[in-house]
Structure 1
């Protein structure tokens, strides 16, 4: 069963919840202009996301941001349910203080876009999903507000679980120096991504060779150092495109690009859409309306 709410202002998807018992929903590349939470209850295989492969297995929740490419490559039938919502329906950036899922569930460049849940949590989320389905079909007073409230509860629970599981992503580090370097790399990217864009810049900041730093990054984040830097820049660009009315030229300049057209090409290569299309389909100056 599929329940979909449409934004009456533009005709785009606002909120959608559905069960799936086949592989046809996600067996091809997805580049949606909305957030996707996919609860896998049964099935095995591989999930391809951001040029990285992740294990697809039972009791796993995947969280994908707008235009984040992903697809399932199942070995057997995958069953579960999915919840999808547009930023116009609920903006995680504007409500960060309420749900704290930005940088945890979504837009986290250092951890996989997934979390594991136990059987008790599966039951808990089934109840919340049931409430969301019921309310999505209930065209009544304050339907939007109640749906958003239930969605917030779900996002908070998932964020808490993800935070508990994040330390496990660095398990298996043998070299005692590496955790120190990894944290310093995170700090360096966060403090300098607007002005330093090359792998060599960060190798210099950390006093380590670019080759060695790239090897550590690939081992522990399963991404290249250049990829990490680019992802951080794109996340900030998306936030500015969605939340402000700044021109693309202004955003490019703030992110260290003097050439607006070079920045637009960089954004399209990494986000699969142009900055203008992202703004038009995901949102425009919502915080200023």
Structure 2
């Protein structure tokens, strides 16, 4: 069993979590519904119970690895102590959508509500992930040259290992269980549509049209599932992309705005400031993991 410890990198601009590795020896931090604003990988190394995620309950046991997306509601219930490792990372630190071509985690490991939200680790995968966790623990304590690049590399290995295994264990097929509910289809398609169209379609009615559902009905489903409005979800995805462009590229704010579907740079700047609490230029000047960690 790994040492009980927590290592965290904080976004220096807003004080929020960027990347975190921790171990746990109880389910106290997961025994209520979670809606976190970052990706979570939770490896159960000892214990069993019930995981509630999206529309279903599933039993879990030792060597199950969970993968939860930002704002995906989940809870782990157990009558015994559970032990394991949790790895959290904010989309600003590493965006699985941006790196889909490299790791193919979106739709397999994350954001597939038709399949159980976990994979069962085999001995080979356990060995690989134990090595990666050890490397992350060492690197996260040493903020030296290229720390960000190394941490992202280790995270990619972790994600690719888990994604390959889940693809082997749960091949692409129609996984619906016994439910005939339409909501899982709608939510899965909504996530896909936002990812495909957030640069060009900014209104809730755009997505209602794509889903062939009334805006009122879609708003109700979105609120019930994410506890957020559809406009919030669209805005958050745009802001995540804008932040990445601001601190990873030298593109002008006007160019970034145009790429994200805003012809008026000033309107985009107001939108950004309303959602990020600082202007695009101030964000670029004061934050950037790629700069701060190298």
User: What is the aligned counterpart of 2:14 among 1, 10, 15?
Assistant: 10
* Residue 102 in structure 1 maps to residue 103 in structure 2: no
Look up the SS of the partner of 1:255 in the other structure: helix
Contact 2:54 2:225 in 1 (8 A): no
Q: CA 1:72–1:249 in structure 2 vs 1: closer, same or farther (change >3 Å)? A: closer
* Alpha-carbon offset, residue 155 of structure 1: 0.5
Name the CA distance, whole Å, in 1 between partners of 2:32 and 2:213: 37
* Alpha-carbon offset, residue 26 of structure 1: 0.7
Match of residue 53 from structure 1:
57
* Alpha-carbon offset, residue 263 of structure 1: 4.0
Name the CA distance, whole Å, in 2 between partners of 1:94 and 1:254: 26
Q: CA 1:90–1:283 in structure 2 vs 1: closer, same or farther (change >3 Å)? A: farther
Q: CA 1:137–1:41 in structure 2 vs 1: closer, same or farther (change >3 Å)? A: same
Name the CA distance, whole Å, in 2 between partners of 1:132 and 1:84: 12
Contact 1:234 1:267 in 2 (8 A): no
* Residue 111 in structure 1 maps to residue 115 in structure 2: yes
The superposition leaves residues 194-226 of structure 1 with CA deviations (integer Å, 9 ceiling, x where unpaired) of xxxxxxxxxxxxxxxxxxxxxxx7xx4344331
User: What is the aligned counterpart of 1:239 among 189, 195, 199?
Assistant: 195
* Alpha-carbon offset, residue 264 of structure 1: 3.6
Match of residue 248 from structure 1:
203
* Residue 286 in structure 1 maps to residue 241 in structure 2: yes
Match of residue 185 from structure 1:
none
Match of residue 158 from structure 2:
154
* Residue 42 in structure 1 maps to residue 46 in structure 2: yes
Measured on the aligned residues, the alpha-carbon RMSD in Å equals 2.5
* Residue 230 in structure 1 maps to residue 181 in structure 2: no
Look up the SS of the partner of 2:159 in the other structure: helix
Q: CA 1:54–1:9 in structure 2 vs 1: closer, same or farther (change >3 Å)? A: same
Q: CA 1:117–1:255 in structure 2 vs 1: closer, same or farther (change >3 Å)? A: same
* Residue 269 in structure 1 maps to residue 273 in structure 2: no
Query: What is the TM-score normalised by the length of structure 1?
Result: 0.74
The superposition leaves residues 40-92 of structure 1 with CA deviations (integer Å, 9 ceiling, x where unpaired) of 01001111111311112001101111111111111211001010111111111
Contact 2:222 2:228 in 1 (8 A): yes
Mean Cα displacement is larger for which, 7-16 or 128-137? 7-16
The superposition leaves residues 180-205 of structure 1 with CA deviations (integer Å, 9 ceiling, x where unpaired) of xx4xxxxxxxxxxxxxxxxxxxxxxx
Query: What is the TM-score normalised by the length of structure 2?
Result: 0.73
Count the aligned residue pairs.
Answer: 240
* Alpha-carbon offset, residue 281 of structure 1: 5.2
* Residue 90 in structure 1 maps to residue 45 in structure 2: no
Contact 1:46 1:54 in 2 (8 A): yes
Contact 1:115 1:161 in 2 (8 A): yes
Mean Cα displacement is larger for which, 271-280 or 118-127? 271-280
Contact 2:202 2:234 in 1 (8 A): no
* Alpha-carbon offset, residue 262 of structure 1: 5.4
